[in-house]
Chains A and B, each alone.
Chain A
Amino acid sequence: MAKESSHPIEPLIKPDIVPPVVQFAVAEKFIEMCRSLSIWPMAFGLACCSLEMMAAGMNRFDLARFGSEVFRPSPRQADLMIVPGTISKKMAPAIVRLYEQMPHPKWVIAFGSCAISGGPFVFKEQYGIIEGIDKLIPVDVYVPGCPPRPEALFEAIFKLQEIIGGKRWWPHPPKEAK
Chain B
Amino acid sequence: MSGVEWTFIKIVIGMLLILGFIAFNAILLGYGERKISGFIQGRLGPYAVGPHGSLQMMVDMVKLMTKQIITPKKADGFLFWTAPILSFMSVPVLFMVIPFSPSFTVINSGLGIVIILAFSGLNVLALCIGGLGSNNKWSLLGAARAVSQFIAFEVPILLVVLSITLMTGTLSLSEIISKQGGFPWQWNIVLQPIAFVIMFVASLAEMNRVPFDLPEGESELTAGYSTEYGGMGFGLFVLAEYTHIVVASSVITTLFLGGWKGPVFSGIWWFLLKMYILCFIILWIRWAFPRVRFDQLLNLSWKYLIPAGIFNLLATALLVKLF
Contacts and interface: CB of A to CB of B under 8 A. Distances in A.
A89 B271 CA distance: 59
Nearest to A27: B66
B70 interface: yes
Given A62-B38, A66-B48, A74-B222, A31 B66 contact: yes
A67 B70 contact: no
Nearest to B138: A74
Interface string B48-89: 110001001001101100111110000000000000000000
B321 interface: no
A35 B63 contact: yes
Question: Binding site of B, secondary structure by majority: helix, strand, loop or mixed?
Answer: loop
Contact of B218 (A38, A66, A73): A73
A38 B70 contact: no
Contact of A67 (B49, B62, B234): B49
B260 interface: no
A35 B66 contact: yes
A104 B223 CA distance: 19
Given A59-B41, A76-B70, A103-B67, A37 B47 contact: no
A59 B223 contact: no
Interface string A99-111: 0001111000000
Chain B contact-residue range equals: 20 to 34
A48 interface: no
Contact of B234 (A33, A38, A59, A76): A76
A169 B47 CA distance: 13
B303 interface: no
A75 to B, nearest CB: 8
Interface string B297-312: 0000000000000000
B38 A64 contact: yes
Contacts of A66: 47-49
Question: Binding site of A, secondary structure by majority: helix, strand, loop or mixed?
Answer: loop
A67 B56 contact: yes
Interface string B168-199: 00000000000000000000000000000000
B241 interface: no
A106 B198 CA distance: 45
Interface in B177-234: 218, 222-223, 226-231, 234
A169 B60 contact: no
Given A79-B63, A103-B67, A38 B56 contact: yes
A116 to B, nearest CB: 28
Given A73-B218, A74-B227, A103-B67, A64 B49 contact: no
Contacts of A38: 49, 56, 59-60, 62-63
A176 B129 CA distance: 58
Contacts of B43: 58-59, 62, 64-65
A103 B48 contact: no
B172 to A, nearest CB: 41
Interface in A138-159: none
Given A35-B66, A64-B46, A76-B227, 15 more contacts: A33-B59, A34-B59, A34-B62, A38-B62, A40-B60, A43-B218, A58-B43, A59-B43, A65-B44, A69-B34, A73-B218, A73-B222, A74-B230, A103-B67, A103-B70
